Amino acid sequence: MPKRILQGIVISTLNENTLTVSVERRFKHPVLKKTIRRSKKYRAHGDNNAYKSGDVVKIRETAPISKTKRWEVID
């Protein structure tokens, strides 16, 4: 099964080797036919604290790294 890859914006880098990434998706409402934006936060593993808030990153699904981390930064 292929691993999912998502693109989002780093919103927090307070923890060691952990990023909080906000991923936004857009879809059309089935009744109103209006485009709606929804966002979700993911915790991702990023080595060496190389990223800062506001960076655009790609994250890939991976085996559980900790209680909340199931994603890793690939770019």
CA 43, 16, 56, 58: dihedral to nearest 10 degrees? -50
Cα–Cα distance measured from residue 61 to residue 75, given in angstroms and rounded to the nearest whole number = 13
Q: How many domains are contained in the chain? A: 1
Looking at residue 10, which CATH number applies to its domain?
A: 2.40.50.140
* pTM summary value: 0.87
Q: Quote the domain boundaries for residue 28.
A: 5-73
Q: What is the percent of the chain where pLDDT is above 90?
A: 85
Q: Could you report the per-residue pLDDT of 27-61, keeping only the tens digit for each?
A: 999 999 999 999 999 999 998 888 999 999 999 99
**Do the Cβ atoms of 26 and 35 come closer than 8 Å?**
yes
What pLDDT sits at residue 64?
96
What pLDDT sits at residue 1?
73
